[in-house]
Structure 1
Amino acid sequence: MAIEKVREHFAQWHLQHKIQELSESSATVELAAQALGCEPERIAKTLSFLVNDGAILIVAAGDAKIDNAKYKSLFGTKAKMVAKEEVLERIGHDIGGVCPFGINEGVAVYLDESLKRFTTVFPACGSSNSAIELTIAELETYTPYKEWIDVCKGWND
């Protein structure tokens, strides 16, 4: 199970106990915010895209949307999400639990600037009913991210 891969990921820092397994679904931003009792924008959603036949992840604030022009300018291609039926195979987690922890080899992770306005955020942990609360510094430490990027809109209007 993908949540076990995430537990193993956090075990290297002895933080697996921080993973919250919820009694209700956290598969969408709205459901996660409701289950965790926080603002939807503080949900760190992880979006999966295809770039040059490879998969990438972009972790963004719950109220942010991909800006196609910014995305194309940065990645040199149109934003194309990984097909639902391919997400588990390409990323290592299924839809509703996709996160930047315990992922498959070769998947590049990017953190979007939309997250930096929060003290803590809540990314998923590999299942549709899990999350972990992390500071931005912790997110940087525990995520194998390549760089911070600015490819979203709608959050700073």
Structure 2
Amino acid sequence: MAEPATPETRPAPEIASTHPAVEKVRAALVEAGAHDAAAGIRWLDDAATTAALAAQALGVEVGQIANSLVFLLDGEPVLVMTSGAHRVDTGFLGSRLGGTVTRASKDDVHAATGQVIGGVAPVGHSAPVPTYVDEALGRHDVVWAAAGHAKTVFPTSYAELLRITGGTATPVEP
């Protein structure tokens, strides 16, 4: 009789190569003409729920991670793509946008994007979301954004991120 598998001998579970949210992001990237980004979607071994974890997994600077954060601007959802090296100053951003910016709840995030916190991509949402892109991301030739799942990312450029999101460039902190 064979010995039972132990954690050390048990084969690692296979990572799904597709997920409905990831496929929606891939399709949105292709539709936007971002074919290299769509082809570059990468599955990570572990969930990268913070910019630091994503940067570590990719071997890049934390500032190259484009965090997708949903906020409410006067009660309406907006997506803020911020450099992983920054924190969004909601008072500062609100004054720049002419309103009050508050954090969105996980339910608000899902309702606005059709995606879950930790994997929110800049595209592939259930409806258009006004998007603001941190100018600091422009300091990098390549930035990495979530691709619809906490274990997925894709490479892009600052210019392409602005183009595919229809985003507005803005600083997110003073």
TM over 0.5: yes
Q: Compute the TM-score of the two structures, normalised by the length of structure 1.
A: 0.87
The aligned residue for residue 170 of structure 2 is 149
Larger Rg: 2
The aligned residue for residue 7 of structure 1 is 26
- The answer (yes or no) to whether the contact 2:138–2:159 under 8 Å persists in 1 is no
* Residues in 1 aligned to 2:77 and 2:91: alpha-carbon distance in whole angstroms: 19
- The answer (yes or no) to whether the contact 2:135–2:171 under 8 Å persists in 1 is yes
- CA-to-aligned-CA distance 1:44-94 (integer Å, 9 cap, x gap): 101111123321001011011112332121233332111023311222211
Aligned length: 152
Give 1:98's match in structure 2, choosing from 99, 102, 120: 120
The aligned residue for residue 86 of structure 1 is 108
* Residues in 2 aligned to 1:135 and 1:151: alpha-carbon distance in whole angstroms: 18
The aligned residue for residue 73 of structure 1 is 95
CA-based RMSD of the aligned residues comes to 1.6
Q: Identity of counterpart residues, as a percentage?
A: 33
Q: What's the offset of the Cα at 1:4?
A: 1.5
- The answer (yes or no) to whether the contact 1:61–1:115 under 8 Å persists in 2 is yes
Q: What's the offset of the Cα at 1:152?
A: 2.0
* Residues in 1 aligned to 2:39 and 2:61: alpha-carbon distance in whole angstroms: 23
Query: Which structure has greater strand proportion?
Result: 1
SS at match of 1:35: helix
Alignment gaps of 5+ in structure 1:
none
Asked whether 1:19 is paired with 2:41, we answer yes
